[in-house]
Structure 1
């Protein structure tokens, strides 16, 4: 019982970490970030990645070892949609992550990074799409947990 509770806590903490860091990135990212903003964006993006990895591990452990069992989740349409949306978010997150990693030389030199219009639009679009997917992931999780989508 305690192990199940601790894994559930890790899973929920990871969800909150993803939401918090993604919202922060979405609100902070601008066409001309200051040095301080760029450093905070890069740090938030690292925490986003850490949270996503924790979510996957804790979610797999919950599905495999606790809760309703892996068979229930594999046969559930809303679990599959939720997982697909989460993977799509992960793929979309690659674009901002690569951009923030490319800022490293400027940040180490104490300079604010420069963004072209197309770079800004590309990263902003990826952040926006992820923000749109968040409530869909939550909806699928709720439907799945209440037995909808079972085959």
Structure 2
């Protein structure tokens, strides 16, 4: 059972990485009706994957693996949670923008996206991906017992 939850945890992480990469690529191109819809869809997938990552991660901490005491006494674990929180907070801005597009998309119109907004969203997605890379590093450190607080 532990291996299955590890698989789900990794799958959610890879899904987040993939979806953010898709957002980055799509935001680097001129916005079309199709690409705006794609951004809305992948943003929903990102939210679902993030919730899955968090839930499965906490199930692993409390019911599988090394136990909660090990993780809560590990600096890398705290750093990983902090990076997750940063990525989650950063994702609010693009999500709100995508939600504002609903009316335009329902009317079959390409949403307005100012160049400054597009650049800001790309910068945010870059930062989110950087946070995920940091989370992967923290996970590797935790797996090797690095960061234990005595």
TM-score (structure 2 length as normaliser): 0.94
Partners of 1:23 and 1:120 in 2: how far apart?
15
Q: 1:30 to 1:111 in 2, by over 3 A?
A: farther
Secondary structure of 1:147's partner? coil
List aligned pairs for 1:1-150, cutoff 5 A.
3-30=1-28, 32-150=30-148
Structure 2 unaligned spans of 5+? none
Partners of 1:5 and 1:124 in 2: how far apart?
35
Secondary structure of 1:14's partner? helix
76-85 or 124-133: bigger deviation: 124-133
Partners of 1:74 and 1:38 in 2: how far apart?
41
Partners of 2:93 and 2:118 in 1: how far apart?
11
CA-atom RMSD, angstroms? 1.2
* Pairs aligned (count): 149
Structure 1 unaligned spans of 5+? none
Q: In the TM superposition, what whole-angstrom CA distance separates every residue of 1:71-105 from its partner, at most 9, and x where no partner exists?
A: 11111001100110011000000011001011001
Are the equivalent residues in 2 in contact too, given 1:32–1:114 (CA < 8 A)? no
TM-score (structure 1 length as normaliser): 0.94
